[in-house]
Amino acid sequence: MKKNNIARQVVQLKDMLRACTLCPRCCGVNRHKGEQGFCRATDELKISSATIHTGEEPPISGTHGSGTIFLTHCTLRCAFCQNYPISQLGHGKKVTMRAFVDTLLSLQKKGAHNINFGTPTHYSAQIAEAVMIARGEGLAIPIVYNTSGYERVEVIELLDGIVDVYLPDAKYSDDTLALTYSAAPDYTRINQDAIRAMYKQKGNLVCDAQGIAQRGIIVRHLMLPGDIENTKGVLAFLARVSNNMHISFMSQYHPAHEYAKHPSLKRMVTQREYMRGLALLEQYGLEQGWKQIQ
């Protein structure tokens, strides 16, 4: 990808902040003027932490860890969010673009396999600018876009040449659950369109000789208690995109945040439920990826 193309993409993304359309909510607020939409973010970057993280999927964490930057705020309001102080209460600190770029370069210097942006959607314009600048100053490791999957295809297309590895959630195939648990209208269509766009852009996961992700897509699905049909719908869709799709199939749900408002969220996923999920993976021929041992 030519540098001048990347520069134009960065300009287009930043222009979206004037009447914000970075996420599917398209709130239309002028974030350059400090206005806040659903996510509550302005155009000022706000991060919770930047660290070497070893708890991601093996191709992301590898042996040296992932250079993970947890961004403050979110485009969803998940009732079961385990990171709600960051995503919904806004805990974090404001950083300048210069400091943000220096953070990327510092994580590379510390030996990180990649730069991993956690909850990036509402800051995708600033992230694109920072990556462009950092690459001009020597950043050479892959960029991981670690997202809820509630994304606009138009934004994904503008991230071509900036992002190397997409790491989206596929939370729901049931829009009633998406609206009830995450306040996310039309999540299923939006998520599926975004995953198709990511797959079209990057294809199946490609790793280097050490097994570290260099490009492609890994899709995460967190099973929710009592909602096996939701999981079935997600896996059926992913199989239609590609049987070689790498799936991170998670059983780690535990009650957090506002779970008490939803009776079905008050317990963990049972071993029987997770085994049914694993059987669905086999049924749909989704053999690539990782499972969690209960």
As given in the structure block, the two tokens for residue 180 are 């009830």
> How much is the pLDDT for 259?
86
pLDDT digits (tens, 9 = 90+) for 94-110: 999 999 999 999 999 99
Please give the average per-residue pLDDT across 231-258, as a whole number.
95
- The DSSP annotation for 45-74 comes to EEEEEEEEE--S-HHHHTTT-EEEEEES--
Domain count for the chain? 1
Return contacts of 260-266, CB within 8 angstroms, 24+ apart: 261/79, 262/79, 262/80, 262/180, 262/181, 264/224, 264/225, 264/226, 264/227, 265/79, 265/80, 265/181, 265/224, 265/225
Tell me if 259 sits within 8 A of 265, measured CB to CB: yes
Please give the average per-residue pLDDT across 70-90, as a whole number.
94
> How much is the pLDDT for 2?
65
The pLDDT of residue 57 is above 70? yes
The pLDDT of residue 294 is above 80? no
> How much is the pLDDT for 46?
97
Half-sphere exposure for 142 (CA within 13 Å, toward CB) = 25
Spatial separation of the C-alpha atoms in residues 118 and 275, rounded to whole Å:
29
- The dihedral formed by the CA atoms of 24, 202, 63 and 282, expressed in degrees to the nearest 10: 90
Tell me if 76 sits within 8 A of 122, measured CB to CB: no
Q: Which residues span the domain enclosing 121? A: 3-291
Task: Tell me what percent of the residues of the chain surpass a pLDDT of 90.
Answer: 93
The pLDDT of residue 256 is above 90? no
- Tell which wins on pLDDT, 175 or 84: 175
pLDDT digits (tens, 9 = 90+) for 147-206: 999 999 999 999 999 999 999 999 999 999 999 999 999 999 999 999 999 999 999 999
pLDDT digits (tens, 9 = 90+) for 68-79: 999 999 999 999
The pLDDT of residue 3 is above 80? no
pLDDT band at residue 31 using 50, 70 and 90 as cut-offs: very high
As given in the structure block, the two tokens for residue 189 are 């269509």
- Tell which wins on pLDDT, 294 or 260: 260
What's the whole-number average pLDDT of the chain?
96
> How much is the pLDDT for 4?
80
Q: Where are the alpha helices (DSSP H) in the chain?
A: 3-15, 58-61, 84-87, 97-109, 124-136, 153-158, 175-182, 187-202, 228-241, 271-283
> How much is the pLDDT for 227?
93
**Would you call 128 helix, strand, or coil by DSSP?**
helix
The amino acid that residue 258 corresponds to is: E
The pLDDT of residue 9 is above 80? yes
**Neighbour count for residue 75 (Cβ, 10 Å):** 25
Please give the average per-residue pLDDT across 36-49, as a whole number.
97
Tell me if 75 sits within 8 A of 121, measured CB to CB: yes
| CATH number of domain containing 87 | 3.20.20.70
> How much is the pLDDT for 127?
98
The pLDDT of residue 1 is above 60? no
pLDDT band at residue 250 using 50, 70 and 90 as cut-offs: very high
Give the distance, in angstroms, between the CA of residue 274 and the centroid of all CA atoms in the same chain: 23
